[in-house]
Amino acid sequence: MSNFEVERSTLIGIPVEQVYATVRDFKTWPTWSPWLCAEPDCALDFAPDGSQYSWKGDIVGSGEMKVTAERENEFIEYDLTFHSPWKSTAKVRFVFGREGDRTRTTWLMDGKLPFYMFLFKGMMAAAIGLDYKRGLAMLKDLMQKGEVPSKLEFLGQSKFPGLSYVGVKTTCRIADVAEKMEADMHRIIKWAQDQHITPSGKALSIYHKWSVTQGTTTYTLGFPVEKIPGWLPEDLVSGKIPSCDVERIRHTGAYLHLGNAWSAGMARIRAKVWKCSRGIHPFEIYENDPAEVSEKELVTMVHFPSKS
């Protein structure tokens, strides 16, 4: 077996007693689990005494989690067993630390993969690390706001008409995407204003590369134009998204939780529910302006180009 370890932490502005009670209650997990959001109708079964739950789905596979040890308001330990898409086991632990009226919440995993997957343990640890980060962000919002501003709607396949665009192409750490995109958006807006160019559609981002193991991504942030200008500054790029079939997910809520839509889409590709077209990069289109609506009203359409 190939072992790997994962640890992620966040500070939640809620007393430890409340955070502990929420995590300890498996029936809250569908609200903030970074995996269950990918398949809302996944079958769940909860043990009457609250010590265990199991899941079975077409997208997220099947498995079970059981509490093995706990100390109230301090830690919870679990045995995690995956039955499909492959068999593996892991030890999972939540640790809660009191910091005044706030709670340092740490999520850890000591996992094992089948021996034939040893080459993937680095990728697995990095991917689960991103999942843990998403889950902790949702748990934090649930505790502090009373809800998770992230709703997924799976809209099925449709025909995307295609477009031409001008934008800024950036390579950065995944952790820095939000900050970099803000700067890129200011740059492209300034250029459009200086050139008296009106976008022909809504802002978008195209993801050319996404390396989980290296923690980096390459994307282009920009907007559609009727005609690509004959000359662009060196820091701007242009291109086209061709007419193509796409699988679409509508995400309503904070950009912080957009990873839920991407994770759900990739889960469908891995489960072979969707057939991904590798010739066209996936992209997202921002349907409204964050300056005009609340974060829980933000709508982002995530497009996964697909084979017919």
Looking at 2.40.50.700, 3.40.50.150, 3.20.80.10, 3.40.50.300, the CATH number of the domain 155-305 comes to 3.20.80.10
Tell me the C-alpha distance between 93 and 87, whole Å.
Answer: 20
Tell me the C-alpha distance between 109 and 90, whole Å.
Answer: 7
Helix (H) or strand (E) holding 36: none
Tokens read off for 55: 């899941």
pLDDT for position 113: 63
pLDDT for position 122: 62
Summarize pLDDT for 64-80 with one digit per residue, the tens. Answer: 999 999 999 999 999 99
Which residue would you say has higher pLDDT here, 232 or 5? 232
Sign of CA dihedral 247, 252, 253, 255: positive
- As a CATH number, domain 2-148 is 3.30.530.20
Mean pLDDT of 115-121: 54
Length of the chain: 308
Are the CB atoms for 148 and 257 separated by under 8 Å?
yes
User: DSSP code of 129?
Assistant: H
pLDDT for position 89: 87
Model confidence at 263, pLDDT cuts 50, 70, 90, reads very high
Q: What percent of the chain is modeled with pLDDT above 70?
A: 95
Radius of gyration of the chain from Cα atoms?
21
**Same fold flag, 2-148 and 155-305:** no
Domain map (residue ranges) of the chain: 2-148, 155-305
Mean pLDDT of 35-63: 95
Tell me the HSE value of 83 on the side-chain side, using a 13 A CA sphere. Answer: 10
pLDDT for position 111: 75
pLDDT for position 126: 85
Q: Which of 7, 31, 273, 68 lies closest to 154, judged by CA? A: 273
Q: What percent of the chain is modeled with pLDDT above 90?
A: 88
The model's pTM: 0.93
Sign of CA dihedral 225, 226, 232, 238: positive
E strands of 163-213, at which residues?
163-173, 204-211
Is the predicted pLDDT of residue 162 greater than 60, yes or no? Answer: yes
Q: Which distant-in-sequence residues (6+ apart) come within 8 Å of 134 by Cβ?
A: 34, 257, 259, 260, 263
Tell me the C-alpha distance between 290 and 227, whole Å.
Answer: 27
Tokens read off for 121: 């343990």
pLDDT for position 32: 97
